Amino acid sequence: MPSLRIATWNSGGEAGGRGAQLLGAVNFANGTAPPVKLVAIQEAKVSLVPAGSIRAQLTSGAGPFVNFVVPPDHPRELNPPTQPLAVGKNKSYLIGWDPVGPGPVSAAAAARISLVPNAGPPANGVETYINGLPIGVPSKNALRLAARNIRAPVRKPFTLAAGGVACNIFFYTWHAELQANWLGATWATVGLLANPFNGPGMFPAFQFFQNSNQFMADMAALTVNDVIIIAGDLNITGADLGHPAIFPNFVATSNNLSHVLAFSPSGALAIAQGWHHVTPYPPHSIITAEVQW
């Protein structure tokens, strides 16, 4: 049975002892097999000089990170030249991985997926979703504006050898948008007279993600040997994940607003050893979890 143990954390930057906190959490997790092979950080430092404390750990070549690939992937959370109306924080992601042992082998650099609606023809998935909502044209245009300017998930594909089979891992990390950033106290902020959605957080952002061409293609490509994993600060709670329109059929482990979710057609799909590690840097804990499929 394939498995992958990961750690995820919205660290709120890399200052102070954040790197040491990550090191301690991973060392603790590695006290039981299997070891952590993938680390995803949200709100990492943008500048590489001097290196932040978390990046310094991931590139140290020592301890639990001895075989981690250097450099880690470091995409920005937003792209200001193409997102002039972005209002959320714009730090960076750090994605580090260990291909040894066996571990996940990188298939491509991490990159933001597109949530931009496109009328085509043919219309893409985000545009089809928005256009199908029972709301007026001004409201649809407001949602199109939001889709173009919110933080999009970052995708990084891996392969993992297990039992002589090459398994595909479609890995996503995401610092999801806060509803307050785009919608303020009322939905009228973006031209909606009332909340047309029955869902938590910035509910449309989750629908943009799930209806994006890339996510739908990954879902369609899955075999029993493959898995989709989503890790990050989704700005909704574990209870919110019970909403039937937010990643249905995914399994998850959660703490506060941070989560690890997974889906595979495999009947063995499970999340084991879902632990959270409290740090002196609230509000987010470090989550470590083993995804099995």
Q: The tokens 């990084």 sit on which residue?
A: 156
Q: Cα-Cα-Cα-Cα dihedral of 269, 273, 274, 277, to 10°? A: -160
Chain centroid to CA 135: 29
Compute the average pLDDT of residues 133-146.
85
Query: In what helix (H) or strand (E) does residue 205 lie, and over which residues does it extend?
Result: helix 203-210
Both tokens assigned to 67: 């075989």
Q: How many residues does the chain have?
A: 293
Residue 111, phi then psi, degrees to nearest 5: -155, 150
Q: Kindly indicate the confidence band of residue 184, based on its pLDDT and cuts at 50, 70 and 90.
A: very low
Looking at residue 185, what is its pLDDT? Answer: 40
Compute the average pLDDT of residues 146-163.
95
Sequence-distant (6+) residues with CB within 8 A of 50 are none
The strand ranges marked E within the chain are 3-10, 38-44, 92-97, 105-106, 111-112, 154-162, 165-175, 227-233, 251-255, 258-263, 270-277, 286-292
**Residue 189: is its pLDDT beyond 60?**
no
pLDDT digits (tens, 9 = 90+) for 24-63: 999 999 999 999 999 999 999 999 999 999 999 999 999 9
Residue 259, phi then psi, degrees to nearest 5: -150, 155
Single pTM value for the model: 0.94
Q: Please give the mean pLDDT across all residues of the chain.
A: 92
Q: Which long-range contacts (CB under 8 A, 24 or more apart) does 25-32 make?
A: 25/277, 25/279, 25/286, 25/288, 26/64, 26/65, 26/288, 27/63, 27/64, 28/275, 28/277, 29/5, 29/273, 29/275, 29/288, 30/64, 32/273
Angle separating helix axes 213-221 and 203-210, nearest 10 degrees: 50
Contact 23, 30 (CB under 8 A): no
For the chain, the distance separating the N- and C-terminal CA atoms, rounded to the nearest angstrom, is: 6
